[in-house]
Structure 1
């Protein structure tokens, strides 16, 4: 009888040992899988950060080149055109009826137009208000220019004047370029007469809503065909999120949220 009891005890101990061994293998397997998963997540995170760094470097180089070309246009081409206008001004016609007078006036009008165009292109390439006065002033200047051109009526509602002062220059440039792209898309594609830019702030989060009363279209078509990849790239670099709302006949709306990094 005692031998039978011993056999039972040995069987039970063997089963317990087997369970412990299986449990240990399972724990080791789960731990290894978690370790592998964590390593993969770290690699993915590093890859995403590396892509962001590359994207940021490309955008910064583009902005540097824009600034250089803008300054060259303003300083060299603009100055040359102004000198040319002064030279033409020196030609005095013999009388008001002189045909040369008409040519001189026409030449001055053409040069004046080219000077305005060069100044506009120069400011678009590198808006001086953005560097000197900040994002709010740059957006206001852009809206004012578009309103004066008659291409579109832009209403700007800025309820985040103080918060915008805390935005770094790279983030300000990114948000300005995004709004610029949205405005250009409205003018080129939407057939809109009005657009609204509303800026608010709460808990260090800047919210920008851009909308127009244009013809609208399917959101997926906008992402593919209206420069949204460029917009997404700029917002990705500064860790900003966005939502596009649009449908045929219902206009266009973009909601952008940017969290100001803590100092």
Structure 2
């Protein structure tokens, strides 16, 4: 028979064995939870990273699309400029030079009298003078000398003076623009936009007053233009080719600026163009 000590040892061993048996499921549960948590963390980072990559890819695609749109806008604007220049060259220079050539060939005829030769010579001088004036105007339209030499404000002041000299318009101009805030090519686009707006006012608006302001701050460049003319329905105005609104919007897109047109029939029109600076 087992003595008391043996019985005690056996009971202790039995108790330890039972405890070990109870610990094993706890360990298994802990390991399982740890595996689940690790898997969850791995999946979380995997899907988070996947989402980040997807977002970055979408942003890159949007940027590429924006660059493509900007390139198309630039090409459209350049093509419009080429057509305008080609038309000016044809109308103002080519046709007149053909007349000069014809008159010059007549002067060389043996049967021509001195009086006729002098008359043809006078016509040649008159036409060539007109051609020279036209060529200067076309060159000025390509790149205004005042813009190239003195900057955007000087070019706009000259443009306003030319409009007021017609005595058909009163121009209220305010400039608080720090020169070279914008790159030279952007300043040219701003000038062209104002030029187009003034042309529209002269041709279509039947206005009396033009208000123009250009202001630069640390963060923005703000151009405001307004006339008191006939105005138009915006939806119809944007479709009309003569108003050149699409060209203005194209130039604004090239310089990454936003445009806000406001107009109603018989209530004039206004444009606010804002360029955010980096």
Question: Could you say whether these structures have the same fold, taking a TM-score greater than 0.5 normalized by the shorter chain as the test?
Answer: yes
Residue matched to 2:205: 190
Q: Is the CA contact 2:85–2:138 (under 8 Å) kept in the aligned structure 1?
A: no
Specify the structure having the higher radius of gyration (Cα): 2
Return closer, same or farther for 1:211/1:52 CA change in 2, 3 Å cut-off.
same
What TM-score do the two structures reach when normalised by structure 2?
Answer: 0.65
Q: How does 1:23-102 map to 2 (within 5 A)?
A: 23-53=41-71, 55-56=73-74, 59=77
Displacement of 1:120 after TM fit? Answer: 4.7
Q: Is the CA contact 2:229–2:267 (under 8 Å) kept in the aligned structure 1?
A: yes
Return closer, same or farther for 1:256/1:64 CA change in 2, 3 Å cut-off.
same
Would you say how many aligned residue pairs link Structure 1 and Structure 2? 239
Q: How does 1:166-245 map to 2 (within 5 A)?
A: 166-203=181-218, 205-225=220-240, 226-245=243-262
Identify unmatched segments of 5+ residues in structure 1: 93-99, 101-106
Displacement of 1:193 after TM fit? Answer: 1.8
Displacement of 1:26 after TM fit? Answer: 2.7
Task: Choose from 134, 137, 140 the match for 2:151.
Answer: 134
Q: Is the CA contact 1:151–1:187 (under 8 Å) kept in the aligned structure 2?
A: no
Structure 2 CA distance, aligned partners of 1:43 and 1:177? Answer: 31
What TM-score do the two structures reach when normalised by structure 1?
Answer: 0.68
Q: Is the CA contact 1:219–1:247 (under 8 Å) kept in the aligned structure 2?
A: yes
* 2:140 aligned counterpart, secondary structure: helix
Q: Is the CA contact 1:193–1:213 (under 8 Å) kept in the aligned structure 2?
A: yes
Displacement of 1:38 after TM fit? Answer: 0.6
Residue matched to 1:97: none
Structure 2 CA distance, aligned partners of 1:154 and 1:55? Answer: 31
Structure 2 CA distance, aligned partners of 1:61 and 1:165? Answer: 27
Structure 1 CA distance, aligned partners of 2:180 and 2:28? Answer: 77
Q: CA RMSD in A?
A: 4.2
* 2:25 aligned counterpart, secondary structure: helix
Structure 1 CA distance, aligned partners of 2:239 and 2:88? Answer: 29
Return closer, same or farther for 1:164/1:221 CA change in 2, 3 Å cut-off.
farther
Identify unmatched segments of 5+ residues in structure 2: 1-17, 108-113
Residue matched to 2:164: 147
